[in-house]
Chain A
Amino acid sequence: MSTPIAKLFQACDPMKPATSEQYVDCSDVRGGHAFTREFCGALTNAGDDGSFLRFLITGHVGGGKSSELLHLKAQLEQMEKPYLVVMMDSKEYIDDNDVTPNDILLAIVSELAETVKAKAGINLDDSYFVKKLNEASDLLKSTVEVSEGDVTAGLLKLKVKLLRIDESARRKVRGALVQNESSFIQQINLVFEEARTAIRKKNYRDIVLILDNLEKIQRIDGVDEGTESHRELFIARAQKFVGLNCNFVLTVPLTLVNTHGGQLRGAYGQPPHTLPMIKVSDRSGKRYDGGYVKLRELLSKRGANPEVIDNDARDLLIEYSGGHVRDLLGTLRGAISTASGSKVVLADAKAALGQIVRSLTVSRAAWERLVALEESPDRTLDLNDPVCISILEQLYALEYVNGEDNQGFLQDQEAWYAIAPVLKELRSYTTALSAYKADLLKQ
C-alpha cells in the first residue's frame, strides 16, 4: 500500500533514527550546545598534538541521540579530508543485563576491523591482537558455520556479536583474552595505531569512534543494576574509554549525568553534552514558535505535507509531543491509523492523543513531583530523588535547556524541566493538582 498517507506512516518509524534525507538540524531550538558543530570544530582545532577528543552525549530515550550521531558521522565522512568513522551500536554486541567493560572493548576492536576493511579495504587480520581475538572467538565455532577461507574481519564481527546471546562463550572469551587489564588496552591501542597509519595512506585524516546505545546497559557483571552499574562503567572504569588512543563520542544515561555530572566531567575532561528536548514552549510555559517551525520541517521531510495532514492536526501533535521526536512520530502513526480518509484531520490527532491519555497510569508519588514541578516557577527537579529520576526515565517530565539569546550569547545552560503535555489532560492530574494546592493551604 503506497498511498501518500501510507508512505507517511512508513516514514515515521519510531524505531529508526533519521536518515540523512530526513535529518533536520534542530540545535538552535533545542538550546544548549550545538553538538555536531562543536565536535567538528573542536576536532579541526585539536590538530595533531596527540591529544584526543572525548565527548559524552546524553538525552532522553527517543530524544534524537542516534539521529544526531548518524548526522555527525555523515558530516565527518563528507569533509574534504574525511574521518574514518567507526560506529558501534552496543545493542548489536551486548547483552544489556550482563556486560563487562572488556566486552565493550572487544566489540570496539571487531567493529574497527570491520569498518577499516569495508571503508578502506585494509585487512587488520594479521595484527597481533586481531589474530588473537579471532583465535579466541573460535571458541564460538560450534555456534557459527564457518566455511573454509572465510576467516575475515567480517566474520570476526559476526562472532563477537554472537557473544551477546551466548553466555557461556562470553565467559570463555573473556577468560581467554583478558588476563592482564593494562596490557589489554595497550594491545587495542596498537591496533588503533596500525589502523591509523594504514588509513592515512588512503587520505583519511584520523579515526573517530562513535559508541551508541551504551546508556542502555543495565547491569555490569558483579554490580547492582541501574545507577550503580552506570557509575561503575562510566566513572569507576572510565579509564577503559579514556585510555583509548582515539577520538570518541559515547552515550551516557541522562540520570547519571544529572546525578554525577561533576564526576563525569572529571573523568573525561569535559562536561557531558545534553541533547535537550526541542522547545515548543519556553520556561514560563509560553508557546515557542521556533520549535514549531523546526518540527514542521522535520515532519514535512518525512512526507507530512498539506495533502495528507491538516495544519491544525499537525500543530496539535507537535504541541503535545513536548518536543520529543520519537513520541511525535509514534503519535502521528496513531493519528494516521485513525484517519478514515486519505488525510489526517484534527479529530484524528485528538483521537490519537486521547488513546494515550486513557492508557497512562501515573503513580501517586509521581503525581506529587509532577504537580510540584508544574507549580514551581523555576521548573527544577530534585535529582537526588529516585522518584524524580524515574519520572524522567518514563518521559513524564522532559528536560530542556534555554541556550542562546538573540545576541548569540549562551545565556543559560541550566537545565529546566516540564511535565509531558499530554499528562495534563489526565483526570488524575486535576485531582493531584487540587490535592497539592490544598496541602499548600494547610501549610
Chain B
Amino acid sequence: MPFEAFENDVLGEEQQLAALAQVIRYSNSFSLVFAVCNNTQYREELIGRLQSILEDVPTQVLRLAEKTENLLSALREDSFESVKALFVVGMEGWIESGKAGERHAFILNLNATRNALPTAYSGTLVLWMPEYLAALLHSGAPDFFSVRSGLFYFAPSREERERLSAEASKLSWGETLSLSRVEKDELITRLENLLQDILSIPEDDRDPKAVIRLHIALANAYGAHGLDADALPHELVAVNLSREVYGERHPATFMSLSNLAVTFRAIGRTAEALELQEEVLTARKEVLGERHPDTLTSMNNLAETYRAVGRIADALILQEEVLTARKEVLGESHPDTLSSINNLAGTYAALGRNRDALKLEEEVLTARKKVLGDRHPDTLTSMNNLADTYREMGRKADALKLQEEVLTGSKEVRGERHPDTLTSMNNLAMTYREMGRNADALKLQIEELAACQEVLGERHPDTLISMGNLASTYQEMGRYADALKLHEEVVSASKEVLGEHHPATLTSMNNLANTYEDLGRIPEAIAMYEDAVAGLEDLLGGTHLHTIAGRANLARCRKKLP
C-alpha cells in the first residue's frame, strides 16, 4: 500500500488538544499520556486551553518539586480521587538538559514503579516534558514508554520554524555596542524570545549553528549592557555546542572560548580567564597562524588580563607585538588597531610612563572621533583614559573637563548603571577630591559604590576600588573612623579576591597605612607601609612612581617613631 510519509498527516495544535481531551474522556482506568513541549510558557497556555475544552471534567495540575525522585511517591502525597486527568509539570527539574540521565534514579523509578502507578491514581496521567526528557525516557525506561495511550508533540509549525531560522541567521552582533540603552533592552528581550522559540523546535529540525549564534548574540547583548553575569550561561552553552557542532579546534569554537574568557575576566574570575586565553592563543597560533586577526585578538585579550592581574611587563611585550602586527595586517586606522594603541597606552600609564601614554591616547582619541564619531562607546573610553593620564600628570582642569563630558555621554549611551559609567563616576570623583572639592567627590562616590555593589557584586575588583576611593575621601575630610573601617575591609577583601601582590591590593595597603598614620597608630602604619613597599618593588620595580611614593611614606612615618 503506497502512501506518503506521515508528515502531512500530523495533527495541528487544535487537533492535538482535541485528541488529548478525547483520551481523557474515553479512559475508564489508569492511562498514561506523554505531552512533549519544550517551551514552558507555551505549555502552560496549552494546559489552560485543555482545561477549558474539558470544562465539565475535573482536572488538576500537579507541579513537582525540583528534586523529586519518584513520581509514585509524589502521587501518593496527595489524594486525586475525583480528578479525571492530572497534568504533571516540572519533570525537567528532575534531570537537567545535557546531563547523561539515562540511569538517573527518577528514570529507573519510573520503569520500576509503572505497575504500581494505578494504585496511586486511577485517571489519565498526562506527563508534560521537554523533548530531551522524552528521549531519555524512551531510552532509559522503554518499558514505561511502551505503555502510553497517547503521544503528543507541541511545536512551532513549519512556516514558523522557517521564519525563526531565517531570523536567527540574519543576526549580527558587531553593532551591539553602539546601541542605546533602550535599544539594548529591546534587543535582549527579542533575542531571549527568539531563543525560546527556536528551542521549541524539535532538535532534529533545529539548526544548531543558529542556536550557537543566538547564544553568542545574547551574551554580547548582556555584555554590552554591563550584565556580564547574565552573559556567562550563554557563553557556556555556546562553547559546549560549538565543540559539538564544529569540533574542538575550529575557529568558531575558538571564538566562543575567547568570548567566554572575556566574560570570566569581566566578572572577576581572572584566573580562569587567564588559563583559557593562554589555551586559545596557543591553539589559534597553531590552527590559524601567528598573524591571523583572530590570533592578534587573542594576544590583545590575554595582555589585558595580564594587566588586570598585575603582570604589567608581560602585558607590555604582548601589546607592542600586537600593535605592530595590526598596523601591518589591518592598517593604521582600523578600529582594532586603535584599540591596540589605546590598550598599550593604558599599560604605559600603569608603568608610570605618562608621557608615552599621553601621546598615544591623544592619537587614538583623534582617530576614533574621526572613525567612530564623538559619542561612540570606544571614543568615550578614549576620552576617559586620556583624562586619567591628565590627572596623573597633574593637569587637573583638563582632566575634569574631559571627565564631566565622558560621564554625561556614558550615562546617555550606556546607561546610568553600566559598569563603564560607574567607572566614569569614580574617576570624576577622584579629580574632584584632588581639586579639594571633597563634598562633590563624596556625593558621587557614595552613589557609585552603592551601584557597584548592586550591579557588580560586593567583592568585584571594581567595587573594592570604589570602596577604597570613598575611604580616602573620608580621610581627606578627617572622618578617620569611617575611613579606617572601609580601608581595612578593602585590604582584606583584595588580598582574598585579587591576591597579595596585585597593584590594587598594594594601593589599598598603602592607603590603610596612611590612615593608621593619621590616627597616630605609627607601628601599625610602618608595618603596613613596609609590606606595601616590598610588594611594589617586586611588582613595579624600584623606580616606579608608586614605589618611590611608598618609600617616602615609609621614611616619613619612621621619623614619627619616638
Pick the residue among A61, A213, A355, A393 that contacts B151 (CB under 8 A): A355
How many whole Å from B497's CB to the nearest CB in chain A?
44
Q: Are A337 and B26 in contact (CB under 8 A)?
A: yes
Q: What 6 A-B pairs are tightest by C-beta distance, nearest first?
A: A354-B6, A96-B112, A354-B10, A350-B9, A9-B26, A337-B22
Q: Are B153 and A355 in contact (CB under 8 A)?
A: yes
Q: Are A333 and B23 in contact (CB under 8 A)?
A: yes
Q: Are B19 and A338 in contact (CB under 8 A)?
A: yes
Residues in B with CB closer than 8 Å to A22 are none
* Closest residue of B by beta carbon distance from A96: B112
Q: Are A326 and B146 in contact (CB under 8 A)?
A: yes
A-B contact pairs, 6 of them (CB 8 A): A15-B32, A15-B118, A62-B143, A218-B108, A350-B9, A361-B134
Check if A316 is an interface residue, CB within 8 A of chain B: yes
Check if B147 is an interface residue, CB within 8 A of chain A: yes
How many whole Å from A422's CB to the nearest CB in chain B?
9
Secondary structure class of chain A's binding surface, majority of residues: helix
Chain B interface size, as a band, is 35 or more
In the complex, per-residue mask of B114-132: 1 if CB is within 8 Å of any chain A CB, else 0: 1110100000000000010
* Closest residue of B by beta carbon distance from A91: B115
Residues in B with CB closer than 8 Å to A9 are 23, 26-27
Residues in A with CB closer than 8 Å to B29 are 10, 13
How many whole Å from A116's CB to the nearest CB in chain B?
24
Residues in B with CB closer than 8 Å to A333 are 23, 149-150
Chain A interface size, as a band, is 35 or more
Q: Are B26 and A390 in contact (CB under 8 A)?
A: no
Q: Are B15 and A358 in contact (CB under 8 A)?
A: no
Residues in B with CB closer than 8 Å to A350 are 3, 6, 9
Residues in A with CB closer than 8 Å to B172 are none
Residues in B with CB closer than 8 Å to A358 are 7, 10, 153, 155, 202
CB contacts under 8 Å to A, within B151-206, are: 151-153, 155, 202-204
Pick the residue among B10, B30, B146, B203 that contacts A355 (CB under 8 A): B10
How far, in whole Å, are A213 and B111 apart by their CA atoms in the complex?
12
Q: Are A355 and B11 in contact (CB under 8 A)?
A: yes
Known: A359-B151, A361-B203. A97 touches B108 (CB 8 A): yes
Pick the residue among A5, A330, A360 that contacts B149 (CB under 8 A): A330
Residues in B with CB closer than 8 Å to A92 are 115
How far, in whole Å, are A97 and B108 apart by their CA atoms in the complex?
8
How far, in whole Å, are A172 and B15 apart by their CA atoms in the complex?
54
Known: A15-B118, A97-B108, A337-B19. A351 touches B9 (CB 8 A): yes
How far, in whole Å, are A338 and B152 apart by their CA atoms in the complex?
11
Known: A15-B30, A354-B11, A357-B6. A395 touches B142 (CB 8 A): yes
* Closest residue of B by beta carbon distance from A431: B204
* Closest residue of B by beta carbon distance from A315: B1
How far, in whole Å, are A340 and B151 apart by their CA atoms in the complex?
18
Check if B558 is an interface residue, CB within 8 A of chain A: no
Residues in A with CB closer than 8 Å to B152 are 355, 359
Q: Are B22 and A96 in contact (CB under 8 A)?
A: no
Residues in A with CB closer than 8 Å to B6 are 350-351, 353-354, 357, 425
Q: Are B148 and A330 in contact (CB under 8 A)?
A: yes
Residues in A with CB closer than 8 Å to B9 are 347, 350-351, 353-354
